[in-house]
Chain A
Amino acid sequence: MSDLKSMTIGALKAALQEGEASAQEVVEQLLTVVEEDAGRVGAFLSLDKDSVREQASVCDEVRGAGNDKKLLGIPISIKDLINVKGDPCTCSSHILEGYVAPYDATVIRKLREAGAILFGRVNMDEFAMGSSTENAALGVTSNPWRLDHVPGGSSGGSAAAVSADHTIASLGSDTGGSIRQPAAFCGCVGLKPTYGRVSRYGLTAFASSLDQIGPITKNVWDAALLLEVISGEDERDATSLREPVPSYTKALEQTTSLEGVTLGLPREYFVEGMDPEVEEAVRNAVEQCRALGAEIVDVSLPHAKYAISVYYIIATAEASANLARFDGIRYGMRVDGADPAALYAKTRASGLGDEVKRRIILGTYVLSSGYYDAYYKKAQRVQQCIRNDFESVFKECDALIAPVTPTPAYRKGEKTDDPLKMYLDDILTTSVNLAGNCALSLPCGFSSDGLPIGLQLIGNHLDEENILSIAHLYEQHTDWHKRKPEFLS
């Protein structure tokens, strides 16, 4: 039998359509490798084999009856903060142990309607707070390229599962880089859509004004297809955008050159202390784009240097309210107390991890009376400046080209004792969330240690078509995405 588990969505779709493979064969291959993995990569938090097999056999029946759908029979793994009816949704936190989601998130409904197989729940930093998937209460995930390295975060499980061929594609969420950074660390394609492009209904909120669900895939075409399926206005999410969803796959198939495309190179994104191998890989990618016909211009985003500070004020403020509902009253874990206040305190003290507590305390502080103006209000004003920066550069260029992270993946434990150092991982990604733009990460090289390096393409509002097309063309002319982690061979 052919190797189905390492296929892209595109290749697998063709194989299924041609009758060369069945959905049941695909999931059996995947179930076998996940089982054999025995926690070495450890991407999954839960994987209900019966449910997966049942879904696969339904898909094969549907196809047998002569039907096809965009994702019919394609296994997709779900970050464990998206609600799937009847499934646990732990957010990698003890506090949600025992919680079973009573409803489907909108993206899950759309995946089901498109015929996808929901293939297990993947690991993450607790409540998406972290950049290494080390703040995970329920399991450890490793970088498939070097198992003693982190997969990035917070969607570390999503990226590791895709990169290790433990799934075909996955959904992650990006609040400050949580899709793009693990995609870069694991050598995948990761897309953070424009804020509002994808419904957040059913996504356990970390920072509501910044969160977006997006795809993590093996190549750009897959990301385009998955985005096409999950995007669109949703009456259950008041912040979702009304604009119609274009056919992203069609857009990239039509792009054959970068002639007439202007790419901006933001000087603030080549930060001090950046790994020279990362810088070299990104600069090579820039040259490749130039060779493909793009015009490269230097641009400046002068407020980029404040992004981390602004991000950690706005995101933690919203998180302090969003996470208040985890109180032990209605669902999840409970530690009893003499009165409600004691019950809350005991439940939250034992149910939430250190990083989550740190951010709740920070967020509570910046909203407190007497501090609100100095922190939250001011952060909002600087956020507006960051938005304006993007607005003005997009007047002169079609997309920005930049690194995703200052370094490739690092060793486990290297930053766990220093939260501030960990926060700096997000330095090149948070601006985009603060401005609401779309951005993606795709492989553009490898370090001498054999670790993947990511290239970031940042697009204007609702300009996913453009960055996907550029990324696709670049991908067509490079082989980085075809490499597989060594341990797989």
Chain B
Amino acid sequence: MKQYEATIGLETHVMQQTRTKMFCGCLRVYGADANTHVCPVCVGYPGAMPVLNRKAIELCCKAGMLLGCSINRLSRWDRKNYFYPDMAKNYQITQADDPLCLGGKLEVEVDGVTKVFDIERIHQEENAAKNIHAAGASLVDYNRAGTALMEIVSTPCMHSAEDALAYMTAIKQIMQYGGISACDQEKGEMRSDVNISVRPVGQSELGAKVEIKNMNSFAFIKEAIEYEVDRQISVLEQGGTIDQETRGYDAERGETFVQRSKEDAHDYRYFPEPDLLPLTLTEEEMEAWRSELPELPAQRRARYVEELGLPAYDAAVLTADKATSDWFEAVLPYSSKAKPISNFMMGEMQRLLTEKEITIEACKMMPEALAKLVDLIDQGVISNSAGKQVFEILFDEGGTPESIIEAKGLAQVSDDCALEQWADTAIAENPKPVEEYKAGNPASINFLMGQVMKASRGKANPGAVMQLLKQKLDG
């Protein structure tokens, strides 16, 4: 039986976080009332003309720089013609032959193996409007129409759903780190067209390409790729041929289905956009953008391991999303105790964020408060378990750890008189464990320890208690 190999390429559309739209002054707003952020330009009124948004160009170039692309000093605009109600002018302004960014690389770890995926190009274009199909009517909301959208095109360089997922995860991370896009998939800020073909291992030319369009969920992309690769292989195995076509993914049935055959493929009739001049970038502005590029997750991970001495696992968890990593970064100036801070962030912080369904930006705790909390635990002012209580209060209400410890009376008691009283009481009231300890069972001291902690309502310093009990029993 033949062995087959899948080849996958991705066209990933990323909405840039510009304040205004790509070619007009309308604000880019998500979730506003329909058609409240529109003007003659983005609704395609007669006589309206596009004006370039320089911020979008900056973000597209920065994305290119972060992905190792070369930036074209001279790029051009083209019209892509097709009739559809989501495209007001019935053509899209995009870049065909001369895009802003060409050729890039993305190094990703897939199942412990480092792989390099090639990026063919990144071009700038404008977004479509949103069609809403209500009962008996189709409506169009142009708020999204004309917002800045860039398309990152990979070469056909991936071979599995895992490859594709790792690629997209890395792209998303980099876009977030670079301040290019929030990549909120639920808001459609990151969508991918997936090109899949299958060929017998050893065959040099690629098989016929099937495109699955407009997918925003990573989980569905994975399912769709797996389904489609299996489908193509079984068609080939049964002696069939794969048609070059566009398919959609039905998530409920877990299947792909034909949307458009090759015969119905659009002829987009690209031609130069006469309303915009070719775009020239100066060496100075590119240099300025380059100097503003942020540290990428891979670089941060390396620094966490090498300079902060964190385990690789911690470094990966902390850098998985930019907001968490930035929060962690904000604690660092106040503390050198990276590992206990990391523990709090991976443990309590994650638990509370999930439980309360909020983002890290919405938590009330200040980074310096966490640094202080870790110090106080380290100095024995409060116990670990009291520390968790304080963390939760800081998370919900903010404030300083000291004032919370004070208000809740959580400070540990190391005062000798009080400890002595509790220890004496515990020994006097529990003769049996005392006997057992003296008879050579050291574990029995833990019971007495528990009694003291109980009496102190958790505030006794466990180390001091243990020392005191041993003194009294051994003495």
Contacts of B51 in A (CB 8 A): 235-236, 238
Contacts of A185 in B (CB 8 A): none
Q: Per-residue 0/1 for B52-92: is the Cβ within 8 Å of any A Cβ (1 yes, 0 no)?
A: 10000000000000000000000000010101110011110
Interface of A is mostly: loop
Interface of B is mostly: loop
Q: Which residue of B lies closest to A377 (CB)?
A: B271
Contact of B269 among A101, A239, A364 (CB under 8 A): A364
Q: Are A321 and B81 interface neighbours, CB within 8 A?
A: yes
Is A368 close to B, CB under 8 A? yes
* Complex-state Cα separation, A104 to B9, whole angstroms: 46
Question: Interface centre among B267, B270, B274, by most A CB within 10 Å?
Answer: B274
Known: A329-B140, A341-B83. A368 touches B274 (CB 8 A): no
Known: A324-B90, A340-B83. A368 touches B49 (CB 8 A): no
Contacts of A103 in B (CB 8 A): 40, 45, 48
* Complex-state Cα separation, A99 to B43, whole angstroms: 14
Q: Are A204 and B46 interface neighbours, CB within 8 A?
A: yes
Q: What's the least CB distance linking B241 to chain A, in Å?
A: 24
Q: Are A83 and B47 interface neighbours, CB within 8 A?
A: yes
* Complex-state Cα separation, A102 to B90, whole angstroms: 20
Q: What's the least CB distance linking A33 to chain B, in Å?
A: 30
Contacts of B274 in A (CB 8 A): 207-209, 239, 318
Q: Per-residue 0/1 for A181-196: is the Cβ within 8 Å of any B Cβ (1 yes, 0 no)?
A: 0000000000000000
Is B277 close to A, CB under 8 A? yes
Q: Are B46 and A324 interface neighbours, CB within 8 A?
A: no
Within 8 A of B (CB), among A451-486: none
Q: Are B91 and A321 interface neighbours, CB within 8 A?
A: yes
* Complex-state Cα separation, A95 to B439, whole angstroms: 104
* Complex-state Cα separation, A372 to B96, whole angstroms: 14
* Complex-state Cα separation, A324 to B87, whole angstroms: 10
Q: What's the least CB distance linking A141 to chain B, in Å?
A: 21
Q: What's the least CB distance linking B430 to chain A, in Å?
A: 84
Is A331 close to B, CB under 8 A? yes
* Complex-state Cα separation, A325 to B91, whole angstroms: 8
Contacts of B270 in A (CB 8 A): 367
* Complex-state Cα separation, A239 to B275, whole angstroms: 6
Q: Per-residue 0/1 for B252-269: is the Cβ within 8 Å of any A Cβ (1 yes, 0 no)?
A: 000000000000000101
Known: A321-B79, A327-B90, A369-B269. A237 touches B138 (CB 8 A): no
Is B276 close to A, CB under 8 A? yes
Within 8 A of B (CB), among A187-243: 200-205, 207-209, 235-239
Q: Are A317 and B138 interface neighbours, CB within 8 A?
A: no
Is B44 close to A, CB under 8 A? yes
Contacts of A327 in B (CB 8 A): 83, 90
Q: What's the least CB distance linking A310 to chain B, in Å?
A: 14
Within 8 A of A (CB), among B156-212: none
Within 8 A of A (CB), among B363-418: none
Is A105 close to B, CB under 8 A? yes
Q: Per-residue 0/1 for A302-331: is the Cβ within 8 Å of any B Cβ (1 yes, 0 no)?
A: 000000000000000110110011110111
> What would 8 more interface pairs be, CB under 8 Å, given A239-B276, A321-B89?
A101-B45, A102-B45, A203-B47, A204-B47, A205-B47, A235-B51, A239-B274, A326-B46
| Ranked 9 nearest A-B pairs via Cβ | A324-B90, A209-B274, A208-B274, A367-B269, A204-B46, A202-B47, A325-B44, A83-B47, A204-B47
